Amino acid sequence: MVDGEAMRRVLGAFAGGVVVVTATSESGEPVGMACQSFSSLSLDPPLVMFCPAETSTTWPRIRAAGRFAVNVLAEDQRETCAAMARGGTGGAGKFAGVPWRPAPGGSPLLDGALAWIEADIDRELAGGDHSVVIGRVTALDAGRDAGPLLFFRSRFGALSEPVGV
């Protein structure tokens, strides 16, 4: 029997970077959610993807915005990640004390991120209790030179080797 606990425990061995997917809500507030299910998908056309849970209260707001920004977190952004993973706080509440600026399309870009990608929502596919959201990249840039925030077996970590770009 494959249950959710086994899925979480075993799939947690697949270490990955962490991003915050952000958008501007219909009322003009910044919204965002921490995501590990982000991936580059296609170079031509330029596509990226992430997978929001159907229980997410932030995803419907991002969908309504029609576009989103992906903020790739640095190793010193654990607190930002934790804030963006908190359910129930909704809307701008998650952004208290988190400095940001707008991307060309208006999506919030978090200060201190390693890179950002802004994309228009191209497609949403069903994926069990999550959706697969595909975005067409409209703008992107690399941020500062620092190590990545990693998530592995339910814990945050950093690369043990120094990195340089």
Ligand X SMILES: Cc1cc2nc3c(=O)[nH]c(=O)nc-3n(C[C@H](O)[C@H](O)[C@H](O)COP(=O)(O)O)c2cc1C
Residues that bind ligand X (CB under 6 A): 18, 33-37, 51-53, 56-58, 81, 84-85, 87, 90, 151
Of residues 35 and 48, the one with the C-beta less far from ligand X: 35
Residue of 27, 30, 34 whose CA lies nearest to 70 = 34
Q: Minimum CB separation from ligand X for residue 65, in Å?
A: 14
Of residues 1 and 27, the one with the C-beta less far from ligand X: 27
Question: What are phi and psi for residue 23, nearest 5 degrees?
Answer: -160, 170
Asked whether the CA dihedral 11, 75, 115, 117 is positive or negative, the reply is: positive
Q: Minimum CB separation from ligand X for residue 6, in Å?
A: 18
DSSP result, 144-160: -S-PBPEEETTEEE--S
Q: Minimum CB separation from ligand X for residue 99, in Å?
A: 19
Residue of closest CB approach to ligand X: 37
Of residues 15 and 104, the one with the C-beta less far from ligand X: 15
Residues 6+ apart with CB under 8 A from 97: 83
Of residues 14 and 144, the one with the C-beta less far from ligand X: 14
Contact 20, 34 (CB under 8 A): yes
Q: Minimum CB separation from ligand X for residue 105, in Å?
A: 21
